[in-house]
Structure 1
């Protein structure tokens, strides 16, 4: 259960459970569409998603998110319109909560409201870090950042299999596939990581952290 929902009392939990639905999405399917009227707040129960801002045929990946993340919270204060899209990176399970129920608890439950605002604040801080990575860091620093994100935020281990192609990783790190391949080769040559298929193992966290810091 996400932290905000732990602040609800028994009656509120009964009400919110009456106004939610569990849905599965296939890899590549749209969970939230930028610009659409928001009817739900999405809670990721299982799987990996990417959060994107879209313009014409281009997309900027804002974040990768997994189990336990609430998505679409900004719509609670933004005229009920989603300002980003969310796509499934693999087959996932999502719990959709009715936005009207969430808004009613925000007005009547101060602890719940505080937790929602804390989540939004965390999103803003993460977005700042993400923009710093994409605009101020060199290629090796960007790849180090995504390694730390996958290892520490998403999978919480040093060895993991990701449902992302190298094309996906290139897009997330805002570099060409050729540049990504060169960077990956450097990390492998320096014995920082092992990368086979979609399986990554981090051997040297200190070097990854150093490259992330120096950019």
Structure 2
């Protein structure tokens, strides 16, 4: 695995892996959590939770990949991607009585629905868990701020480079199969399908990528990273 992916993956793991927060629970609390959670499986493309639903549970992804969507001025935008061992929209769940986002499975995904009342009791009674959760939520918020700021300043070349590198970090490999088609890629980035297709074709011709349908092989990570910065 290239050093770029190894370093980035470890950095993100330290801040964004919610499993470390759950490890701060006592054995009794872990047993209570297990008793008050429901595990469900979703196929690729299925909606996990819809915007407007009552927040009765926190959603924890044990396996798979999830896309978060928000609506602003009647326009749907992708807020981010959630991978395994992460909560879905955690920074929003304690602020509102209803989910302010929609979560969709990008691949076959397993999710634990944890009763929010039980979780709140852990926050009040376990200081170490609460502090770990605050640090975790701060890491998520910081990542979202940087992601939204970066993407807003990029052309299609830069934005697509960022997303392709994100997938490389998620799958911990420069070679992977995209979990979405060209249309979904365009929706995530806020560009047209044609722009995404043309940019992938250009990257392929320039030897930066080898693209076959949804299969991506990053041939020149340094060049792709440079485009993600300057594009």
TM-score of the superposition, structure 2-length normalised? 0.87
Alignment of 1:51-62 (within 5 A): 51-55=68-72, 58-62=75-79
Show structure 1 runs of 5+ residues with no match.
Answer: none
Q: Is the 8 A contact 1:44 1:67 kept in 2?
A: yes
TM-superposed CA distance for 1:104, in Å, is 0.7
Match of 2:198 in 1: 182
Would you say 1:134 and 2:151 are equivalent positions? yes
CA RMSD of aligned residues (A): 1.6
Deviates more, 1:118-127 or 1:162-171: 118-127
Match of 1:38 in 2: 55
Match of 1:119 in 2: 136
Give the whole-Å Cα distance in 2 for the aligned partners of 1:87 and 1:79: 20
Q: Secondary structure at the match of 2:31?
A: helix
Q: Is the 8 A contact 1:40 1:72 kept in 2?
A: no
User: Which of the numbers 194, 207, 211 marks the counterpart of 2:223?
Assistant: 207
- The C-alpha deviation readout for 1:69-107, integer Å capped at 9, x for no partner, is 111323453133322211111221111111111111111
Q: Is the 8 A contact 1:62 1:130 kept in 2?
A: no
Aligned residues: 214
> Given the superposition, is the C-alpha separation of residues 64 and 171 from structure 1 closer, same or farther in structure 2, using an over 3 Å criterion?
same
Give the whole-Å Cα distance in 1 for the aligned partners of 2:89 and 2:201: 37
Q: Secondary structure at the match of 2:100?
A: coil
Give the whole-Å Cα distance in 1 for the aligned partners of 2:225 and 2:44: 31
Give the whole-Å Cα distance in 1 for the aligned partners of 2:88 and 2:150: 22
Give the whole-Å Cα distance in 2 for the aligned partners of 1:79 and 1:139: 34
Give the whole-Å Cα distance in 1 for the aligned partners of 2:206 and 2:178: 22
Match of 1:63 in 2: 80
Give the whole-Å Cα distance in 2 for the aligned partners of 1:51 and 1:135: 17
Deviates more, 1:67-76 or 1:190-199: 67-76
> Given the superposition, is the C-alpha separation of residues 32 and 119 from structure 1 closer, same or farther in structure 2, using an over 3 Å criterion?
farther
Show structure 2 runs of 5+ residues with no match.
Answer: 1-17
Q: Is the 8 A contact 2:91 2:137 kept in 1?
A: yes
Give the whole-Å Cα distance in 2 for the aligned partners of 1:179 and 1:45: 34
Q: Secondary structure at the match of 1:83?
A: coil
TM-superposed CA distance for 1:170, in Å, is 0.9
Match of 2:180 in 1: 164
> Given the superposition, is the C-alpha separation of residues 80 and 87 from structure 1 closer, same or farther in structure 2, using an over 3 Å criterion?
same
Deviates more, 1:170-179 or 1:72-81: 72-81
User: Which of the numbers 212, 217, 227 marks the counterpart of 1:196?
Assistant: 212
TM-score of the superposition, structure 1-length normalised? 0.93
